Amino acid sequence: MQPNANKKPQGQYGIIGWPLGHSKSPLLHNWGLKQSGLPGAYVPWPTQPAKLKAFVAEVRARHIKGVSVTIPHKQAVMPFLDGLTDRAKAVGAVNTLFWREGKLLGDNTDVEGLVKPLEAHRGALKSALVLGAGGAARAACAALKELGVADIAVANRTASKVEKLAADFGVRAVPWEERVGTWSLVLNTTPLGMLGENQDQSPWPADAFGGVSLVFDLVYNPVRTRFMADAQAAGVACLSGLSMFLHQGLAQFEIWTGVRLDEGRARQVLMADMILTGG
Ligand code: NAP
């Protein structure tokens, strides 16, 4: 944390992670603060794992209003908090720190980030396959359970990890090599398709969309991934990771400030940035 971070104690927010890399969260939250006429700012706080405990002590001492939590702190931060929301408990990870009645609590708004875009499709979601078994896959399983999807399955490159995930959530494990099949929804929670060395890759064969009705790619940079492009070419509807990012961020902002930002305008802010930065 910056030594002068307590200069605006009534409105300080930020994100911790290590390495933090480039995050769109400051863009969204600083836009939100300005729109709402609220004081303060949202800043990046690159925080090494060994400094996490001291960071949380500073959050308490300075009464920092809100913190977004990203890799590798989403689970490690939990023992330093006074309590967890039901969603954070369900996922087993935290992406949001906030204050209620003098207690520093942890929530997981990634679940809302997934539930909101899928709500319009709820009636058609008979089955869903989650690709990957990391933190985002756990949020996906929690969201699909909340949505009442009857048949939820997970497939992962490393079989041992998928079995633990399936057991934790009471869902089916499918071998990675046998993932292609008939699914109402396929969610990509692997980094395949992300800007960089994985950009041209997809977790799904381009000629195997015959049994798929909807895809949701959690990767949001680029906005249109190889997986989505292949799905669209096969006539399959797509949801973008940008929708998840938007909704998890809108939920955080509301938890911290009580203000629900305009979804359409917030989406425009993010899309404009993606266009300008080549995402
Ligand atoms: P993570 O915990 O590191 O998990 C990554 C998963 O992807 C693991 O199961 C891993 O499999 C699998 N994987 C990695 N490389 C692969 C490859 N080459 N082929 C097949 N599988 C591979 O990461 P995470 O936190 O879950 O995040 C995953 C993705 O979700 C990231 O792209 C992240 O940006 C995105 N995400 C988006 C949002 C949003 O708001 N849109 C929010 C959270 C996360 P192994 O077990 O075999 O290593």
CATH superfamily of 112-242: NAD(P)-binding Rossmann-like Domain (3.40.50.720)
Instruction: Find out whether the peptide bond into 72 is cis, omega within 30 degrees of 0.
Output: yes
Write out the residue limits of the CATH 3.40.50.720 domain(s) in the chain: 112-242
**Ligand 1 center–CA 27 separation, angstroms:** 23
Q: What's this model's pTM, rounded to 2 decimal places?
A: 0.94
Rg (CA), the chain: 19
Position 2 scores a pLDDT of: 52
Distance between CA atoms of residues 23 and 8, nearest Å: 22
Which residue's CA lies nearest to atom 39 of ligand 1? 245
Candidate from 189, 219, 248, 252 with most ligand 1 atoms within 8 A of CB, to mutate: 189
Which residue's CA lies nearest to atom 36 of ligand 1? 218
Q: What is the four-CA torsion angle of 138, 231, 158, 162, rounded to 10 degrees?
A: 30
Position 8 scores a pLDDT of: 41
Distance between CA atoms of residues 254 and 33, nearest Å: 11
The CATH code that applies to domain 13-109+245-277 is 3.40.50.10860
Position 10 scores a pLDDT of: 59
**Contact between residue 74 and residue 212 where contact means Cβ atoms under 8 Å apart:** no
Closest CA to 167 of 194, 141, 206: 141
Residues in the chain: 279
Which residue's CA lies nearest to atom 31 of ligand 1? 191
Tokens 């706080």: give the residue. 45
Distance between CA atoms of residues 15 and 88, nearest Å: 17
How many CA atoms lie less than 13 Å away from 116 in the CB half-sphere?
Answer: 18
Q: What is the mean pLDDT of each run of 10 residues along the chain (279 residues)?
A: 48 94 93 97 97 98 96 96 97 97 98 98 97 96 97 96 95 98 98 95 98 97 96 98 98 98 97 81
| Phi/psi at 241 (5° precision) | -60, -20
188 lines ligand 1 (CB under 6 A): no
Q: Is 148 exposed, middle or buried (0-12, 13-18, 19+ CB in 10 A)?
A: exposed
Candidate from 95, 115, 157 with most ligand 1 atoms within 8 A of CB, to mutate: 157
